[in-house]
Chain A
């Protein structure tokens, strides 16, 4: 390969062909364009004329240049030009392949594997030994170089880890070696040190993608919305979609919500999900859609769970004494992190709360339903108070311990003792690790009956050992009793910061901020689910638990894989992205060779150049025709006209729909319509005829049609028209295929078309008359059922008037849809029991429109027959029109008259 600047040639010897171009120039100049042979009688006049200009016999220079350029493009194209060719400089010595292999590498892991594979095969080809170091999982000792081909076999086993590489230097081999570093493109401490250390051993090449690394931060709740921070190492160019995934009510994991966030040129953004509480509590994780990386997954824990807590207090709160209400401090503590429900016990049980807090209630209204709810996993928290102390609680099953009646008061004005302080929490207590403030004192409490189980149930006690908080399981649920009131009457506990912490530990309220060391300390957290490098949740069977203070560091690593950790009913999510991590693009010293997405990609130019050569030759073809005088004449003009017509035809096809005003007019009333024949006289008569028929209908029947219309078959919606009159003229243009489709739909939908050949049926609907032939041609694409000459008992004979012939200006038989062969004579009736429905077509040649036609003064436009007999025929023609419209509008109503005797008989009974 030869390289000229950014261009490389795979077959450079083909470029020698360029040397032939000057010769070609001379040759092409010498050859004039091919002549046209023309027959021309005036040639005798031309004989002896000499051409004026000498250079006219030569090809114009620009045409030559075009041809030379086409040829040059072809030659250069066949030489295999490549833009930004990949150059592999042969090196010596072993090759060390360093891969970050953190979660940021997971999204393009296959590309990285392919790059490693290529590096290994290159090394194998040149016999160089190689070694691989994954920075996220550094080997304990310096790796040894081995056969590259063997290493390639282990390549599929390499997976990215769900944490970022450590900052300390991994052990490096001795001696000189070249290094290929597959960076994930994120800046992090220790990177520069490793780079300089590697450069001391040999050349360092860094492969790094240009696309920004994206990651999700931990989800938090603020203002009833779930907000998920999205971080990027560089401003992404397209908006990012974040999905919320969780179990649906059927227990199937699916996408619950999806939001789009636009970075607007920044590297940090926040997605906000506004979800109803039921849906929000189902969300188990957030993901960046379409990104396979542990960093693109944000697991949710209690922080985004808002529990439904029902607060029920004994007695009626008195106005103006808010601070004394039993639930005031509970409300203050829980409102920011839980959904509170108020109401009576019966009401709140319907809402299926997670927690029910009873503040100083001795008599429970619905103990059975409450017990049922408890057994299903509810958490009942009870606070003591004067009422509970005074009540007889021996038989109350909804208390963790039996209480002594009366309670006790210490440190009051009438007692000797001082107010009691709290004892430190035991290690087994859910409150373990919480600091006990010194200023929390208890002045009164209810006392538990001593018993063998009392110690086990006590989770907080006073300094004198008397229980302050007791807990007992009840079915799948729990009952917790605070032996003090929920307000500040009996103790200062509700006033202290310990109170919300205790509520949180009891999983009554959700955590509002990142867990602090104190929150997590003292417990061993067992991983429930762990993330792998690609962001998939995998089971954590066999994974060791971690201590709370380790978890509190929130720095994922080999010892603390990201995932979901649980202890004592609480869940803490550890995401792959450390909480305070800010993503930034890695910068490399100038001495490092950078490849990958950051360098222009290799671009073969062969196809483009050959295409350019073909295009140039096409242009040359047209130019040659133009130079040779062949781009004129009728054919070219015709071709140009056709092209222009085609270009114009496209917008013409997009025609408007039916005008809304016209549609409303047609739909608002019965409207007779006729098909435009293109013959102005026939159309005028048809419209006047329909006007005459409309007037007759309005005068004689309850049908009062609007003014008739001329149909525009291409645009009008035919469904709006009742009856379509179609006069057939010999040279009528056929409707388009779309119009035929509309007509067929119209016929199937119960419409009727009255065909009128206006030739007195001389042809008998053969081809004897022009109109008859045209009718056959026009009606061929229509879905017309079998026809028959109208039988004497057809319904058209009696829909309004009793008729036996159907004349217009002529009196010839008409054709209608054939009766089914099994039609029977109705009993006692002069007609058969015919088919249902309306005949879709009536075909005749009686020129009805002329018989119906009236002018502006309401007078008949055309004479019919002779004298009085003619007027009689016009009257019959109008009656036929009335019958026809009645038939369309009422269908087979008159046929149902056969049932009249049966109906009368039934009425008589």
Chain B
């Protein structure tokens, strides 16, 4: 009997293991970074200690006009002359849906290497999304993605699902639009994108969500390059997916007009958000993710109030 070449078998085993480890490694670092990021925002979670929809008793309060009679706690009211309503502690029984743009335009970084390297917009958006998920799950909320693959669920196990889904998302189109069909009514939504694509689809999505009573947060993630447009000379601009092309003789001349357009788009986004009762902000990948996370967390709280 002839032994197979042991070194060949060893090599094959090694390469399989390396691939498996590479695939497995994608999740923990993201999750770890997200946890690390979320840990810095721990203080924000205490705001829920107040009356709201929930099951736990919170306090008695005098009944206002407008309180339905069935809410009056008659046992408490019987002990005095005024009628009391029994408040329950607010519980985030609502679900949160997170949409992270997986379009090709998000896979862009103005400084991919070097000492001042910046992450891709998609990486930053994923990190923010997962950190937000960590925060919300730690607070007992149900977190999911907008798509049908990851419906909102509580518990830390959901984080692994979210991380896997976020890491796997690789859209082909340059600009993608949120799939809002799976968003449950009265839930919260977080949209993270560069919002450089067609705004019509977004407007339609927001309209549909507003009809379902869904409010949320829109975070525009941009690279500083996209903000400053530091180009000069004869340039052919191509979208990351390669579907769009634009050629200019003198890129520097376009700078002011490009920034005007960007500001105009941002104003329109803000308008859309305001009309739908959403919050809108812009985050640059050149700045720390922590500030953006803080803002999103606070914005979600504001919206819940």
Contact = CB atoms under 8 A, between A and B. Distances in A.
Given A41-B194, A629-B251, A634-B114, A35 B262 contact: no
A900 interface: no
A49 B262 contact: no
B36 interface: no
A861 B144 CA distance: 59
A44 B234 contact: no
A627 interface: yes
A628 interface: yes
Interface stretch (B57-65, B68-76, B241-249): B241-249
A620 to B, nearest CB: 15
Interface in B218-272: 223, 225-226, 229-240, 244-254, 257-258, 261-262, 265
Q: Point out which of B106, B116, B233, B251 has the most chain A C-beta atoms below 10 A from its C-beta.
A: B233
Given A41-B105, A41-B196, A32 B114 contact: no
Interface string A551-593: 0000000000000000000000000000000000000000000
A319 to B, nearest CB: 101
B226 A37 contact: no
Interface size classification for chain B: 35 or more
Given A47-B246, A51-B249, A629-B251, A38 B237 contact: yes
A42 B226 contact: yes
A626 to B, nearest CB: 8
A47 B108 CA distance: 19
A318 interface: no
Nearest to A638: B114
A627 B233 contact: yes
Given A40-B239, A44-B197, A638-B114, A51 B233 contact: no
Nearest to B121: A41
Contacts of B106: 41
B233 A33 contact: yes
Interface string A136-161: 00000000000000000000000000
B244 A45 contact: no
Contacts of B262: 42, 45
Given A45-B261, A632-B232, A40 B238 contact: yes
Contact of A42 (B111, B229, B249, B252): B229
A14 B254 CA distance: 46
B202 to A, nearest CB: 13
B116 A634 contact: yes
A4 interface: no
B280 interface: no
A89 interface: no
A52 B250 contact: yes
A51 B116 contact: no
A49 B235 contact: no
A647 interface: no
Given A49-B258, A629-B251, A43 B233 contact: no
A53 B253 contact: yes
A44 B175 contact: yes
Contact of B244 (A44, A52, A53, A634): A44
A37 B236 contact: yes
B237 A53 contact: no
B235 A35 contact: yes
Contacts of B253: 51-53, 56
A53 B194 CA distance: 31
Given A43-B245, A51-B249, A51-B250, A634 B234 contact: no
Interface in A44-88: 44-47, 49, 51-53, 56-57
A684 B69 CA distance: 78
B112 to A, nearest CB: 10
A41 B239 contact: yes
B236 A36 contact: yes
Interface in B199-229: 223, 225-226, 229
A592 B235 CA distance: 68
Contact of B233 (A39, A630, A634): A630
A869 interface: no
A43 B237 contact: yes
B236 A35 contact: yes
A57 B249 contact: yes
B114 to A, nearest CB: 5
Contacts of B257: 49
Interface in A589-640: 627-630, 632, 634, 638
Given A46-B237, A629-B251, 12 more contacts: A34-B234, A38-B238, A40-B237, A40-B238, A41-B239, A43-B238, A45-B265, A46-B261, A49-B254, A49-B257, A628-B234, A634-B111
Interface of B: 105-106, 108, 111, 114, 116, 121, 174-175, 194, 196-197, 223, 225-226, 229-240, 244-254, 257-258, 261-262, 265
Give the 7 A-B residue pairs with the shortest CB-CB distance, closest first. Answer: A629-B233, A629-B232, A41-B105, A56-B250, A57-B249, A628-B233, A35-B234
